[in-house]
Structure 1
């Protein structure tokens, strides 16, 4: 990976992997640019819209950083500027790069951008799309996971924790399974490396709460508490001991 940081002026800052993408421009991070070229092949809605792009034999995900909750109704996509490297897109790009070096199944970071105006900035991140993947919420609404697959989920979480990475929102929609049944973790906004071990149980409990919530919300959701133990068994088999 050849990571390059470039400051364009007028408050525009870029971070990108030159082995994957040529020098990006402001347009690279806009919906209009990709729509004009007919390169958008899909989208997903969460906090804002995430675009799926096919370009030069690459499959990319473009995400505009958007606030959620009550503060999102007030500030939408605006964040307080505390330094370029402290911006959310740059932090997530760097964290993904570090985890990839550790061999974790997380998205490959392609490019990040922020645009600063005074004390406010807005930002975007492009990552490589995980081929043939679906989030576990969608999978479990269709069919159950096998015991070894739940073990794999637990091992993926343990591998993340072994790198001392805290996931801010470790819910079932942020865990993906590809067409070879490999498990991937996504959405590392507001995630970071932390010292110690006491916080790791909270990450696991966040996943359990999301499973219980989806079980209650969905008429068909193939999961039970018995299968939670399979996940914990997989976690314990891989987690480094405190």
Structure 2
């Protein structure tokens, strides 16, 4: 990782040698000037998709960190600064790097930015791989039944993450992607903001239960095609019973 400071901004790059204009990689306007914007997605803020395969080996997703809930209406995007390692973007980039190196299907980490504002606050951005030809699991399950091997693969992926001691604090059906690669499908895990290492084992069952509740919620809310049989397949993959 290449770490750079420029005035009140700190940058973390997942490449060895500096690149031209790298401090501007976190500006949507920069990519628009270069005519590299592929599209965008609306959530808490806007995620911009960038044509960058020639630069990083993959196309990328640029995301600014925004607060949610009632507090987010007062303070939209500023966070308390304690250390660089604990900032939202640096922590997520380091975690993605660890999971990526361990062979999990997570977006490749590219770069992170922290901008200190005032004495004790910061704003943050992150640049990660755009998973191509992929759909949110809940969107897919509105029209398609997934195969038993794919549900088992989902369970194996979560188990591998848990075996590394990593708790995905927002593990839900929306943070799982299914990528279509020809006639094959591949499962990806997303959104590791505020996630990290956790000791012990009791939390693992709670983490799985959280995911199960999210499936049941989306059956009611979105009418997704999900049954207890499919959950058993996922758990079989998790427990190695395949």
Q: TM-score, normalised by structure 1?
A: 0.92
**How many angstroms apart in 2 are the aligned matches of 1:104 and 1:39?**
28
2:194 paired with 1:190:
yes
Partner SS state of residue 25, structure 2: helix
Aligned residue for 1:150? 151
Residues 147 and 56 (structure 1 numbering): CA distance in 2 closer, same or farther, change over 3 Å?
A: closer
2:230 paired with 1:227:
yes
Equivalent residues of 1:111, 1:126 under 8 A apart? yes
**How many angstroms apart in 2 are the aligned matches of 1:21 and 1:158?**
36
Aligned residues: 234
1:7 to 5, 14, 17: 5
Please report how far the alpha carbon of residue 55 of structure 1 lies from its aligned counterpart in structure 2 after TM superposition. Answer: 2.5
**How many angstroms apart in 2 are the aligned matches of 1:24 and 1:173?**
34
**How many angstroms apart in 2 are the aligned matches of 1:115 and 1:213?**
37
Partner SS state of residue 51, structure 2: strand
**How many angstroms apart in 2 are the aligned matches of 1:21 and 1:129?**
22
Partner SS state of residue 14, structure 1: strand
2:48 paired with 1:70:
no
Equivalent residues of 2:152, 2:233 under 8 A apart? yes
Partner SS state of residue 67, structure 1: coil
Please report how far the alpha carbon of residue 122 of structure 1 lies from its aligned counterpart in structure 2 after TM superposition. Answer: 0.3
Give the root-mean-square deviation of aligned CA atoms.
Answer: 1.6
Deviations along 1:3-26, one digit per CA (max 9) or x if unpaired, are 1111111x1000001259726544
**How many angstroms apart in 1 are the aligned matches of 2:128 and 2:174?**
17
Equivalent residues of 1:14, 1:24 under 8 A apart? no
Aligned residue for 2:239? 236
Partner SS state of residue 199, structure 1: helix
Residues 88 and 39 (structure 1 numbering): CA distance in 2 closer, same or farther, change over 3 Å?
A: same
Q: TM-score, normalised by structure 2?
A: 0.92
5+ residue gaps, structure 1, are: none
